[in-house]
Amino acid sequence: MADIIKTATRDAYGKALVELGEKNDKLIVLDADLAAATKTGMFKKAFPERFYDCGIAEGNMMGIAAGLASSGYTVFASSFAMFAAGRAFEQIRNTIGYPHINVKIGATHAGISVGEDGASHQCCEDIALMRTIPGMTIINPADDIETRLAVLAAAEHDGPVYMRFGRLAVPRVFDENYKFEIGKGVYLNEGTDVTIIATGLMVERAIAAVELLKSEGISAALINMATIKPIDKDIIIDAAKKTGCIVTAEEHNVIGGLGSAVAEVVSENCPVPVTRVGVEDVFGKSGPALELLEIYGLNAKGIAEKAKKAIELKK
DSSP for the chain, please give it.
Answer: -PPPPEEEHHHHHHHHHHHHHHH-TTEEEEESS-HHHHSTHHHHHH-GGGEEE--S-HHHHHHHHHHHHHTT-EEEEEEEHIIIIIITHHHIIIIIITTT--EEEEEESBSGGGGGG-TTT-BSSHHHHHHTSTT-EEE--SSHHHHHHHHHHHHHSSS-EEEE--SSEEE----TT----TT--EEEE--SSEEEEE-TTHHHHHHHHHHHHHHTT--EEEEE--EEES--HHHHHHHHHHHS-EEEEEEEESSSSHHHHHHHHHHHHS---EEEEEE-S----SS-HHHHHHHTT-SHHHHHHHHHHHHHHT-
**What pLDDT is recorded for position 1?**
34
pLDDT in tens, 35-69: 999 999 999 999 999 999 999 999 999 999 999 99
pLDDT in tens, 212-222: 999 999 999 99
Our answer to whether residue 58 is catalytic in this structure is: yes
Q: Quick check: 71 pLDDT over 50?
A: yes
Q: 4 falls in which pLDDT band (50, 70, 90)? A: confident
Residue from 22, 49, 58, 264 carrying the catalytic annotation: 58
Pinpoint the residues of the chain covered by CATH 3.40.50.970: 6-171
Mean pLDDT on 104-121: 95
**CATH number of 6-171: 3.30.1490.190, 2.60.40.3950, 3.40.50.970, 3.30.1540.10?**
3.40.50.970
Mean pLDDT on 278-290: 95
CATH class of the region 186-313: alpha beta
Mean pLDDT on 292-298: 96
pTM of the model: 0.96
**What pLDDT is recorded for position 315?**
74
Q: Quick check: 80 pLDDT over 70?
A: yes
Q: Quick check: 275 pLDDT over 60?
A: yes
**What pLDDT is recorded for position 205?**
98
Q: Quick check: 3 pLDDT over 70?
A: no
Q: 314 falls in which pLDDT band (50, 70, 90)? A: confident
**What pLDDT is recorded for position 231?**
98
Mean pLDDT on 155-166: 97
